[in-house]
Amino acid sequence: MISVAIGELKVGTLEDVYNMSWAEFRIRLFAFKRMERNKIELLRIHAYHAASGGLYAMNPKLFPKSIDKFWKLPKEGELSDKKQLAELLESERKKMLNNG
């Protein structure tokens, strides 16, 4: 678990983690959350384009016109932990399976 925290914070050793100030920790946490959001946005773009050429190509009237209607991303601060994010992704997946 410690190595995961060190990897996410981009810090070399655990001692460096203990020696960092609260402000530095918050800056690194902000950067980590921003990178995670960028990964989710990239995943959403890939899913949108894959779906547009997949099952929806047979019936384009069912396909959402905007990427936000296809997969709405939560606003900043709306999701605080990975459990909520997993539940959101699962509910979106179920909606897409029921519509298709």
Q: For 54-88, what is each residue's pLDDT tens digit?
A: 767 777 777 888 888 888 887 766 656 677 777 87
Q: What is the pTM of this model?
A: 0.60
In angstroms, the CA 21 to CA 9 distance is 13
- 5 vs 67: which has the higher pLDDT: 67
For the segment 24-40, the average pLDDT, to the nearest whole number, is 87
Query: Going by C-beta distance under 8 Å and a sequence separation of 6 or more, which residues neighbour residue 15?
Result: none
Cα distances (Å, whole numbers) of residue 42 to 11, 29, 46: 25, 20, 6
Contacts of 34 (CB under 8 A, 6+ apart): none
Statement: residue 42 has pLDDT above 90: yes
pLDDT > 70 fraction of the chain, expressed in percent and rounded: 84
67: phi then psi, degrees, rounded to nearest 5: -70, -30
DSSP state of 21: -
Arithmetic mean of pLDDT, 8-29: 83
